């Protein structure tokens, strides 16, 4: 049984993970013609960013001092500030999900929408919508299925993802380059070239797991998350997304 303690950040830990950092995504300026007071929006974002930075700094300090802790009080960090940051980190022209909501439409009444979303998340009334299924062509002529989440689901997922990255980033090896902030294919090629030049390499294996995201065991995925995340509310939120499913529009 691990000893637990509560820090100034409100985190009850058994043994932490990560070095937290600032959000990678920049906050965008409001587009011209946006309804509402643009100056007030900028003030909200500036104040929110300052509060969020202070919160992340406290989490980073706790994670650095207790590197093996499980964080058991993370849910309260999903607040209006982190939701706002996640919204402005979204691609403006991304395709809408099943809700049909675009980034521009949501921005028109942003603060009331975020406040309502935050209340629903905190009291457990938030329900993810199914993702919209679409397909993109692959180089071999086949099609790759994509799931496009509803806009509010993207916002809540983004707020949760940024928080989790602060804890888990130091647990990931440097060579895990896919889907990492600030990493990409060129970083992978650089790492490969360095390995070939500096080590005795005899084999290079290219492997892919067929339909990984469709075949991965959800119970095992949750069990792995529970190694570092002890907040049951965060786990339940992730389970809601896993169970939301996809909506495929059939041709009539």
What's the pLDDT band for 127 if we cut at 50, 70, 90?
Answer: very high
DSSP, residue by residue, the chain: ----EE-TTS-EESS--------SSPPPPPPTT-SS-HHHHHHHHHHHHHHHHHHHHHHHHHHHHSTTPPB---GGG-SHHHHHHHHHTS-TTPPP-TT---HHHHHHTHHHHHHHHHHHHHTT---PPPEEEEEEE-TTS-EEEEEE--HHHHHHHHHHHHHHHHHHGGGS-TT--TT-TT--HHHHHHHHHHHHHHS----------TTHHHHS-HHHHHHHHTTTB--HHHHHHHHHHHHH-EE-PPP-
pLDDT in tens, 171-227: 555 556 555 666 777 777 887 888 888 888 888 888 877 778 778 899 999 998 888
The pLDDT of residue 169 is 56
Global pTM? Answer: 0.64
From CA 115, how far away is CA 137, in angstroms rounded?
A: 39
What's the pLDDT band for 15 if we cut at 50, 70, 90?
Answer: very low
From CA 17, how far away is CA 118, in angstroms rounded?
A: 26
Residues 6 or more apart whose CB falls under 8 angstroms from that of 163 comprise 59, 74, 77, 78, 82
| Section 124-134 average pLDDT | 94
User: How many Cα atoms sit within 13 Å of 73 on the Cβ side?
Assistant: 14
pLDDT in tens, 87-124: 999 999 999 999 999 999 999 999 999 999 999 999 99
């Amino acid at each position: 049984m691990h000893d637990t303690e509560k820090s100034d950040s409100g985190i009850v830990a058994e043994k932490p993970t990560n070095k937290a950092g600032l959000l990678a995504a920049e906050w965008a300026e409001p587009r011209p013609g946006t309804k509402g007071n643009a100056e007030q929006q900028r003030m909200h974002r500036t104040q929110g960013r300052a509060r969020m930075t202070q919160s992340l700094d406290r989490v980073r300090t706790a994670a650095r001092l207790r590197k093996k802790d499980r964080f058991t009080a993370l849910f309260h960090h999903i607040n209006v500030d982190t939701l706002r940051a996640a919204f402005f980190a979204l691609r403006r022209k991304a395709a809408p999900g099943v809700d049909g909501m675009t980034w521009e439409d949501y921005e028109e009444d942003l603060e009331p929408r975020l406040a309502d979303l935050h209340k629903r998340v905190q009291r457990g009334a938030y329900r993810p919508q199914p993702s919209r299924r679409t397909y993109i062509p692959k180089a071999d002529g086949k099609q790759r299925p994509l799931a496009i989440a509803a806009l509010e689901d993207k916002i809540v997922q983004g707020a949760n993802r940024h928080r989790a990255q602060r804890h888990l980033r130091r647990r990931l090896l440097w060579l895990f380059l896919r889907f990492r902030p600030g990493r990409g294919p060129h970083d992978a090629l650089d790492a490969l070239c360095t390995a070939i030049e500096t080590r005795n390499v005899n084999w290079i294996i290219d492997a892919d797991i067929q339909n990984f995201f469709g075949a991965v065991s959800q119970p095992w995925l949750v069990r792995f998350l529970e190694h570092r995340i002890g907040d049951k509310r965060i786990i339940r939120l992730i389970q809601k997304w896993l169970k939301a499913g996809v909506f495929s529009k059939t041709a009539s």
